[in-house]
Amino acid sequence: MRLALSILGLAQLVIGLWLAIDPDSFVDKLAAFGPADDHFLRDIATFQLSFGIALLMAVGRPGWRAGILFLCLVQGVLHTGNHLIDIGETDSGWQGPFNFFSLLVQTALFAFLFREAVRRPERLPA
């Protein structure tokens, strides 16, 4: 659980930083769904960064895990659904399917980890 939360948290931070620092590059390389709106993409970066920080904080706080993972799962389901709707809308034909399937895998991982956090919550010493 700790390793998975660390990897997912770091991945969210990397995506968030990329979006915040160079939104045009992010669109060109990974998400060519049309012209980039730098302000909007930096707004999205704030969500990615927040999720990343929360996931990393949950590494050492077992009591936080189920709630944070549930939030990430809900966001993942909604985000993946949005990418399914627009799967054929990228300028580079491979980006739409790649984005959808990578988000689907991430969302499945959030679902698995959420289930595990609820089934077997680790308790901190009193």
Residue 125: the pLDDT is 41
SS3 assignment, position 28: helix
Residue 123: the pLDDT is 58
Residue 40: the pLDDT is 92
Residue 120: the pLDDT is 81
Residue 122: the pLDDT is 67
Distance of CA 106 to the CA centre of its chain: 7
Domain definitions of the chain by residue range: 2-119
Give pLDDT < 50 ranges for the chain.
Answer: 124-126
